[in-house]
Amino acid sequence: MWVGIALIAAQLIVTAVGDLETLEFVYVVVLGWHTCVAAIMFGVLILRAFERDAVELGAQLHCADRIGGRMDAVKWLGIVVGAYAGLVVAFECFVVTMGHRQAARGIQPGEDWLVITTTDADGSNDTVVAGVESGGHLYVAANHWPRSWYNRVVKNPDVDVIRAGERMSYRAVPVTGDERVRIALDYKLPWAIRLLTGFPPRSFLRLNPRSRSAQ
């Protein structure tokens, strides 16, 4: 109920000033928080059901006190895990939403981002990603759990990239071995970001320029 009230209030306030981007941001934040709370409540309900069965079993085995103490620890561990999982989901939803909005409005001057255009059977898709130069090559990385753009690139490695206002064509090559170790060291993410994203595996792509004759 409170989530609905918060969303309605946010819509009324933000719509009044005409800032729809802020409204979208508020939606993501409120719904993300709701996801965290729902994950915690769901975890508590499951743990309570499990605790009841475990205590009944302990009573039959005459060790209810020991089982009850352990279940308290398990309960708190479950709450922490559920809260963290909800936080990761909320943060990843926020990143995806902001990425779509940024891709729609385009990269602004002074922003160090790339827009990579991938294609599949349903058409083309624009995704905002961060790029890094290392050893004379341009690299991009999948740093989040949602990585549909990366999966499309693996299936069809010919991509277009808008960088600093210039569109160029590349062929993406998955990075492995020593090259991956080097680029991972050159392109480190802050530990806080890794924590908020739930420590997803990082996948790197080297972007090799395509000659016009090959396009």
> Could you identify the residue written with the tokens 């349903």?
122
Residues 78 and 126 in one domain: no
Residues 118 and 208 in one domain: yes
Q: What percent of the chain has pLDDT over 70?
A: 59
Return mean pLDDT, the chain: 74
Residues 145 and 78 in one domain: no
Task: Tally the domains of the chain.
Answer: 2
158-163 and 137-142 beta bridge pairing: unpaired
Domain boundary among 75, 105, 135: 105
Q: What is the mean pLDDT of residues 12-16?
A: 46
Neighbours of 61 (CB within 10 A): 10
Q: Specify the pLDDT at position 17.
A: 42
Instruction: List the domain range (segments joined by +) for residue 46.
Output: 2-105
CATH, residue 168: 2.30.110.10
Question: Which of the 8 DSSP states describes residue 145?
Answer: S
Residues 67 and 98 in one domain: yes
Q: Specify the pLDDT at position 51.
A: 56
Residues 50 and 83 in one domain: yes
Is 90 exceeded by the pLDDT of residue 170?
A: yes
